[in-house]
Structure 1
Amino acid sequence: MNSSTLTPTAPDVPGPGPGPATPARGPRTPAGAFSPRQLVASLPDAVRKFDPRHLVRTPVLLVVAVGALLCTGLALRTPTVFAWTIVAWLWITVLFGNLAEAVAEGRGRAQAASLRAVNQETVARRIGPDGREEQVPSSGLRPGDLVAVAAGQVVPGDGDVVEGAASVDESAITGESAPVIRESGGDRSAVTGGTTVLSDEIRVRITARPGESFLDRMIALVEGSARQRTPNEIALNILLASLTLVFLLAVVTLQPLAIYSGRPQDVLVLVALLVCLIPTTIGALLSAIGIAGMDRLIQRNVLARSGRAVEAAGDVGTLLLDKTGTITLGNRQAHELLGVAGVTAAELATAARAASLADETPEGRSVVTLVESHGGTDRAPAEGDRAEYVAFTAQTRMSGVDLVGPGGRREIRKGAAATVTAWIRTNGGEVPAELTALVDTVSTAGGTPLVVAERVAPVGEGAGTVRALGVIHLKDVVKPGMRERFDRLRAMGIRTVMVTGDNPRTARAIAAEAGVDDVLAEATPEDKLDLIRQEQAGGRLVAMMGDGTNDAPALAQADVGVAMNTGTTAAKEAGNMVDLDSDPTKLIEIVEIGKQLLITRGALTTFSIANDVAKYFAILPAMFVTTFPQLQALNVMRLSTPESAIVSAVVFNALVIVALIPLALRGVRYRPTGAASLLRRNLVVYGIGGVLVPFAGIKLLDLVLTHVPGIG
């Protein structure tokens, strides 16, 4: 094909001029950050958790507390250094277990305090049915009330804008200093109580009852007071309780055997053995792991309504992603100019730029930028003529310029292929087959073709001549790094589906470039819902993100439904997570955080169970070596005395809980890989490590305790 082309030297041509500055984010604590001072600050809460009503929620710690209480009575009756040392460290074990949960809960206190400052009582301008305005406290508002909010005033409650548009400062909630636009109608009508209107006046229909607002729920979740145990967490608690019962029965049966052998065991020693054998470590850390998982989401400005949603994110098998704004930059950009035969690249570029000067859409500005990046600004085509610009509108789907001068009139048009070809025919021109071929080529490549044409009418020559000049190739620019992200998701075993309203041909081209596994083109709300149900019927958990009312059914059906904070109230109510930054790519991070939560729980469970091996070699020989000297062979650590061996095991059992609190809060580092690889890593690092570390720790404690009178 004989066609002149103009292609950019850079892969992607940005829009004209600098974009808006990246909004500054307020100071935030890095996710997983831990300070030893948090231990001290959380001690009062840990002491309050000695309440039996709280301990009963953690059966493992409840057993330790009952054992400590029993040993305290025995130590009071027969006080010895050994007895009181055991008693002290049993109570410390319970304290450290409570401390793990208290530290996890305390990490959100500062953020909750700042949110409470936002969630203060305000005066609302409620508008009655007769149109009269009255001043009422925000706590007196009810769903359905209509309020007016002017510039400088605080939005008194959650609701939807039903009239007007305004710039709103949401930095107190999202941390973003840049204001956002909220307007009636569409998918950006929702406003949150406590945010501030910066310009204009809006009328808001209240949707939340007092005490049930978005901020109220966020404060409760940040503090952990509303956190419900997840199904996996409940199942693991049942397993831990079962193991505790098994070890309890095993230890209880030891005493009759010891009596039969003529060497009854001290109850203190039996309790110490039980505490060391039951899964104390994971039992103490389990709640902290769950709270920390939700905290990591909050640190990334994602509010999860429940721990179940975070947990489900870790098991997601299918991820639904919108194309525009998620996979692509959101605005199509001019990629190249394709001229028909007989039209030079410079001629097409000059005409395309002139026809785009009155087009204020991002696509129109990108055409100007493409031409100017190739030096096409030396001479404007309207020089010496009177220019009458034709602005782009959604109705005409064209923009252009009419150049009127002494020599006649020249009209240049640029717009959608169907619209401009119709303009050519209306003005008596013919659409060349070459132009149709160029349009098809661009469409097949997944781009959007814009046609450039002109009509030249010299003075006194009637209608003049009309001809097509060429095609502008608009391209959906895939965000940098998206292919790598999808490769990571594929390594996790997650199938990605791009959901778009584009035609199938365009959708497939974008999907191939981005590396998406599958495509749902020309998607309607019903199509999304059907796809989610099909995936779930196949046994897969599904995650998706949406912001509009039409996304609400799919968000409610998805196992992980992430609604954007800029979206409608219906979308936010339907989803089980809300992204305060309204960043569509955040869905990928949410999945990774969910997987990190599950991996952390599995790794620490493995470490806790593996810990028991060293304690067998410490306590069992100490208990029975005098009756069965052959058991001395099990004393591989060569612990100095039976008392030192028992105390060393009990002390290590307590200290390891505190040592693992930072890991429980930060989470085990997640690397996208297969399940078999993750299992191998857990077994090597936390299985073998869980066996070796206690041997070293108990031996070091024994060396110290050897010098303590009454123990060594």
Structure 2
Amino acid sequence: MSPTVAEAHRVELSVSGMTCAACATRVERKLNKLDGVRAGVNYATGVASVECPAEPDVELLISTVRGAGYEAEPVPAAPPPEDSAPDERGDRVRDLWRRMVVAVALFVPICDLSILFVVLPQARFPGWQWLLVALTLPVAGWAAWPFHRAALRGARRGASSMDTLVSLGITAAVGWSLYAMFFRPEPTGESGWALLLDPRGALYLEVAAGVTAFVLAGRYFEARAQRRAGDALHALAALRAKDVTVLLEDGSRRDVPAAELRVGQRFLVRPGGTIATDGVVEDGRGALDRSSMTGESTPVEVVEGDVVLGGTVSLDGALVVRATQVGADTRLGAMLRLVSEAQSGKAAVQRLADRISAYFVPAVLAGSALTLLAWLLLTGSPDRAVTAALAVLVIACPCALGLATPTALMVASGRGAVLGIFIKGYQALESTRAVDTVVLDKTGTVTEGRMSVVELHVLPEAGRAAVLRRAGAVEASSEHAVAAAITAFAGAGADAEDGAGPPPVSSFHARPGLGATGVVEDREVLIGRRALFDAEGWSVPDELERLREEWEERGRTAVLSGEDGRAVALFALADAVKPSAARAVAELHGLGLRTVLLTGDNAATGRAVAEEVGIERVISEVLPDEKARVVRELRAEGRTVAMIGDGVNDAPALATADLGLAVATGTDIAIDSADLILVRDDLLVAPDAIRLARATLRTIRGNLLWAFGYNLAALPLAALGLLNPFIAGGTMALSSFFVVSNSLRLRRFTPTSTSDTTG
């Protein structure tokens, strides 16, 4: 019986040396030939995910990958520090950039001179051949070396790839051109233009240079996008505490690296410190900022017996925590694993490219060889045979195919930047047409992501300005998020009413998790939760109590302010909804999409926000791994899910969804895990992002259809000798031009919403 997912042993290998989708297919096929192994190789991330029924033999897996012609090494369970890993992807990007610049710079003079010397033979001068050779060798040799190297490596294993076609096309074009320049007699008594239909003396160096430049450009933009594929894991790992103060049995303390912490050990968390691992509070109390892990906008008070999560921050109060989970077993470790697994998946477009490359290249090579043989048998003319075979190779060179995706992405990215949208790669686009459900994170996405005072009620006899001035003065001495919101509100109120600054405070005392006290203008001021007023024995009038209960039922945070033993005012705080949220949700509904609000906040807060913006369904009080689980459950129901989020806690869900959209004002991990980035802090850009993604996908599919249709139509003409390689090269260039011009139409993309203010 095959093992279940839980029973299977999983290992990931980082595979280097892959240059196209066919390489990933080859590695995957080799690994899957091993007994009991189920492997998937993602070319975009360079990761092979392998599942085995028993503990895997990593050395066997690595040797199998090497047998396929590539290098591999295990992916560490925890990503290393960012500065410890060599920037291999960055080196590749820089190398491709240098080669592309050389190819493009030399392509223009090569093209001009090649055409000149063919059309006007009288323009040839002594040594003209050596001039063309000097210009061509850096392009066909050094710039195109990655294609030649990959083709040779595949040839040694009896395999082929797109690099094989590119390399053979470049080599054949240069080889025939050298033969024509040095060994063919110069044409005489003929019109130069007649040579376009005659192989004698024709040169194809511009074809070699053009193929090299175009394909290098496609590889460069692809590699640049892949460079950041692993940054998400480093950003997650950065949340972990580096060191921790362990409390020993004898009462002494010892600072140790957080990685050495063990289950059952007690450690100290100082105010402002990061909790090193999951655990239970054994002593102390304080406010905990859990927004990075749960998305909660309001700090949560923790006391003895409460569970805390590694990666969260203690805002005030010292805590003694007993570790219950460490390393990969923590909530943060689970998030690392979820993002890694989601990024290792293979996109449908990539699988299609794998299948195509497995048949397209061998078919073209076979067609070129058959063309050569057929012409030799039928005519006995090597000139005609080589010309027709070369035409097949040149016209089949996948320039248009290589440009179909990157050019559309470049144009869409430029237009998207104007609209506040960033498209990370073509894998992001393939599900947009089928998306029917949009899941929105609450904090920082639908809401502003910070607490603010939304309402204030003051007893008539107390005086609004005086209460606001004294409460703001006390809260100005605190660093709590709630205190900061009240201080800002009080400052704005003071500026509006009397222009005076906050009065001095004496006898200030912070009450962690409850509030604060102080003496202002000879009055004792108490501000905080109802529990603080009860503990101090201060009275709360029925009017304020009824209002407090009402506001808390509506999901607001209610804070009492009292003077000299009695509550006199009530502040209502909330994470305010973004002004564009309701309109954006309405536009998503207009696209026929269902909406779901997903939040780590309580049910009352979630319902209040959903009702305000018009979201249909609310799922509240969910932790990061549960958010990803909710997305998986929606997908299991047959839904195609888009997720919009901004925080670390959204990263697994963003990576798990069919389409991830991250708000750029959020954390790096959320941005790295998403497919589309909403650059402008305006939720109206979300429906525009989906429209642009769909338009880009349609353009890419149209480009691919043209590229393959062009080859299917042109290859028979080339094989029949009806296309001179020079014309074949021009036709190939026209095909590429069509793909580029079709992609440029995306510059005219206009959103239906008014979020496009550029006109």
TM-score normalized with structure 2 length? 0.48
- 2:144 alignment partner, SS class: helix
Specify the alignment match of 1:651 in structure 2: 730
Specify the alignment match of 2:485 in structure 1: 366
- 2:633 alignment partner, SS class: helix
Q: Structure 2 matches for 1:325-404, cutoff 5 A?
A: 325-340=444-459, 343-346=462-465, 348-350=467-469, 352-375=471-494, 376=497, 387-394=506-513, 397-402=514-519
Q: Structure 2 matches for 1:377-456, cutoff 5 A?
A: 387-394=506-513, 397-402=514-519, 410-416=523-529, 418-419=530-531, 422=534, 426-427=537-538, 429=539, 431-432=541-542, 434-443=543-552, 446-455=555-564
Quick one: which of 156, 161, 177 aligns to 1:57? 161
Matched, 1:45 2:143: yes
- 1:285 alignment partner, SS class: helix
Q: Contact 2:554/2:608 (CA < 8 Å) preserved in 1?
A: yes
Query: Residue 599 of structure 1: CA displacement?
Result: 5.0
Question: Measured at CA, do residues 485 and 620 of structure 1 come closer, stay the same or move farther in structure 2, by a change above 3 Å?
Answer: farther
Question: Measured at CA, do residues 526 and 369 of structure 1 come closer, stay the same or move farther in structure 2, by a change above 3 Å?
Answer: closer
Q: Which amino acid aligns with 1:365?
A: A
Query: Residue 469 of structure 1: CA displacement?
Result: 2.3
User: In 1, distance between residues paired with 2:645 and 2:614?
Assistant: 19
Q: Which amino acid aligns with 1:49?
A: F
Query: Residue 187 of structure 1: CA displacement?
Result: 2.0
Q: Structure 2 matches for 1:636-647, cutoff 5 A?
A: 647=726
C-alpha deviations, 1:129-178, integer Å up to 9, x for none? Answer: 9xxxxxxxxxxxx99689xxxxxxxxxxxx9979xxxxxxxxxxxxxxxx
Query: Residue 332 of structure 1: CA displacement?
Result: 0.9
Matched, 1:510 2:614: no
C-alpha deviations, 1:175-207, integer Å up to 9, x for none? Answer: xxxxxxxxx984279xxxxxxxxxxxxxxxx99
Q: Contact 2:413/2:423 (CA < 8 Å) preserved in 1?
A: no
Question: Measured at CA, do residues 584 and 614 of structure 1 come closer, stay the same or move farther in structure 2, by a change above 3 Å?
Answer: same
Structure 2 gaps, min length 5: 1-89, 107-137, 155-159, 188-194, 230-241, 247-256, 262-273, 278-307, 314-325, 329-342, 753-759
User: In 2, distance between residues paired with 1:371 and 1:567?
Assistant: 28
Question: Measured at CA, do residues 508 and 357 of structure 1 come closer, stay the same or move farther in structure 2, by a change above 3 Å?
Answer: same
Specify the alignment match of 2:22 in structure 1: none
User: In 2, distance between residues paired with 1:229 and 1:72?
Assistant: 42
C-alpha deviations, 1:414-459, integer Å up to 9, x for none? Answer: 223x3256358x44x4641x32442344345543222233345xxx
User: In 2, distance between residues paired with 1:279 and 1:564?
Assistant: 40
User: In 1, distance between residues paired with 2:579 and 2:459?
Assistant: 32
Q: Contact 1:237/1:283 (CA < 8 Å) preserved in 2?
A: no
Q: Structure 2 matches for 1:537-548, cutoff 5 A?
A: 537-539=636-638, 540-541=640-641, 543=643
Quick one: which of 536, 548, 559 aligns to 2:635? 536
Specify the alignment match of 1:121 in structure 2: none
CA RMSD of aligned residues (A): 6.7
- 2:202 alignment partner, SS class: helix
Matched, 1:478 2:548: no
Q: Which amino acid aligns with 1:414?
A: I
Quick one: which of 300, 311, 315 aligns to 1:187? 311
Between stretches 65-74 and 276-285, larger displacement belongs to: 65-74
Q: Which amino acid aligns with 2:516?
A: S
The count of residues paired between Structure 1 and Structure 2 equals 505
C-alpha deviations, 1:578-617, integer Å up to 9, x for none? Answer: 9999999999699899768745532432443565799699
- 1:49 alignment partner, SS class: helix
Query: Residue 534 of structure 1: CA displacement?
Result: 0.9
User: In 1, distance between residues paired with 2:693 and 2:465?
Assistant: 54
User: In 1, distance between residues paired with 2:501 and 2:411?
Assistant: 59
- 1:510 alignment partner, SS class: helix
Quick one: which of 335, 350, 369 aligns to 1:233? 350
C-alpha deviations, 1:211-266, integer Å up to 9, x for none? Answer: xxxxxxxxxxxxxxx999854134135347757788899996999899999x9994
TM-score normalized with structure 1 length? 0.51
Q: Contact 1:618/1:649 (CA < 8 Å) preserved in 2?
A: no
C-alpha deviations, 1:81-102, integer Å up to 9, x for none? Answer: 5324265455445434543345
Greater Cα radius of gyration, structure 1 or 2: 1
Query: Residue 531 of structure 1: CA displacement?
Result: 0.8
Question: Measured at CA, do residues 552 and 275 of structure 1 come closer, stay the same or move farther in structure 2, by a change above 3 Å?
Answer: closer
Structure 1 gaps, min length 5: 1-27, 113-124, 130-141, 147-158, 163-183, 190-205, 209-225, 457-465, 624-641, 675-712
Q: Structure 2 matches for 1:150-169, cutoff 5 A?
A: none
User: In 2, distance between residues paired with 1:604 and 1:655?
Assistant: 13
Query: Residue 328 of structure 1: CA displacement?
Result: 2.9
Q: Which amino acid aligns with 2:311?
A: D
Question: Measured at CA, do residues 609 and 493 of structure 1 come closer, stay the same or move farther in structure 2, by a change above 3 Å?
Answer: farther
Question: Measured at CA, do residues 365 and 500 of structure 1 come closer, stay the same or move farther in structure 2, by a change above 3 Å?
Answer: same
Q: Which amino acid aligns with 1:531?
A: V
Q: Which amino acid aligns with 1:323?
A: K
User: In 2, distance between residues paired with 1:276 and 1:591?
Assistant: 38
Question: Measured at CA, do residues 554 and 101 of structure 1 come closer, stay the same or move farther in structure 2, by a change above 3 Å?
Answer: closer
Query: Residue 511 of structure 1: CA displacement?
Result: 3.4
Q: Contact 2:585/2:595 (CA < 8 Å) preserved in 1?
A: yes
Q: Which amino acid aligns with 2:161?
A: R
Matched, 1:95 2:212: yes
Question: Measured at CA, do residues 92 and 99 of structure 1 come closer, stay the same or move farther in structure 2, by a change above 3 Å?
Answer: same
Specify the alignment match of 2:403 in structure 1: 285
User: In 1, distance between residues paired with 2:554 and 2:737?
Assistant: 58
Q: Which amino acid aligns with 1:651?
A: G
C-alpha deviations, 1:9-63, integer Å up to 9, x for none? Answer: xxxxxxxxxxxxxxxxxxx99xxx9997783399433244234247832165467
User: In 1, distance between residues paired with 2:650 and 2:358?
Assistant: 42
Q: Contact 1:492/1:673 (CA < 8 Å) preserved in 2?
A: no
User: In 1, distance between residues paired with 2:710 and 2:444?
Assistant: 48
Q: Contact 1:435/1:470 (CA < 8 Å) preserved in 2?
A: yes
Q: Contact 1:535/1:542 (CA < 8 Å) preserved in 2?
A: no
Bigger relative contact order (CA 8 A; separation at least 6): 1
User: In 1, distance between residues paired with 2:707 and 2:644?
Assistant: 35
Q: Contact 1:497/1:520 (CA < 8 Å) preserved in 2?
A: yes
